[in-house]
Amino acid sequence: MRVDKDVRLTQIGIDRIIRLSWLKKTAQYALAGSQVHESKVALQDEIKDSFQYDNQIVRGSLDKTITILTKTWFIVPNHLIPLRNDGLKLISNLPAVYHTPVHWGMLMAVYPFWGATATQVGRLLKIQPSVTASQVQRRLREQYGERETVSRSAQRAMRSYVDWKVLSETETKGVYTSGDIINVDEPHLVSWLIEAFLHSKSNGSANIHGLIKNPSLFPFRIKPTSAGLLMSVSPRLECMRHGLDEDLVMLRK
């Protein structure tokens, strides 16, 4: 499956609420060796009750959601297959507490809009105690253009963050505060999450120190790492010294 990286980075793609439990089910089907078609059928049966309105299944919304789920863990672009495979290994081998950053990273790599929305949320939460949906939507429209789908997709991404418990609702509609913070200190997970982040960016490189604290990863407290450790853990990353004391990490060509 060939996907132009630049096109993927400018598209929205993800315009549904994506519950963490649904991604977990999808990954489990992938780990079990299920085929895409049978996984879609199973997912439809398991999550259809969340798409009922007046006792009727809202088929279009259900189908779009399942498409996003399977594109995250099954039908990924060719250049993301190694990342996907290692992500599934992490889910299989690491305790459940570490699974949320894996799902976050994979979703961000496949759908960069997920990370773009998180970036705006994270930036605002660094300078103020709460964030409003309208603030995030306005900033994303500046980036993606004045399209109604931008505001709608941003709202659904933020609703997803609430479901993941990394963002909390307040009594005021459309106003959110910080949620759970998850420690990410396992070396292979740190390296994998950094790689996922780089796939969501156009230049595929970043300053290591700045990346660890990047606002798109606001739900996570990532353990500081070194260039040497990253390269020893992941063959798909390379590092170079920039200036006197700055290390850049990038995707290996």
| pLDDT single digits (tens) 217-237 | 999 999 999 888 888 999 999
Q: Supply the pLDDT for residue 56.
A: 58
Q: What is the pLDDT of residues 135-170, one digit of tens each?
A: 999 999 999 988 889 999 999 999 999 999 999 999
State pTM to two decimals: 0.93
Which structure tokens are listed for 162?
């609430």
Q: What is the pLDDT of residues 82-120, one digit of tens each?
A: 999 999 999 999 999 999 999 999 999 999 999 999 999
Q: What is the pLDDT of residues 18-61, one digit of tens each?
A: 999 999 999 999 999 999 999 999 999 999 888 876 555 566 88
Q: Are strands 237-242 and 167-169 parallel, antiparallel or unpaired?
A: unpaired
CB of 69 within 8 A of CB of 160? no
Residues 155, 173: Cα–Cα separation, whole Å: 12
Q: Supply the pLDDT for residue 52.
A: 72
Q: Name which of 171-175, 196-200, 239-243 the model is least confident about.
A: 239-243
Dihedral pair phi/psi, residue 240, rounded to 5°:
-145, 150
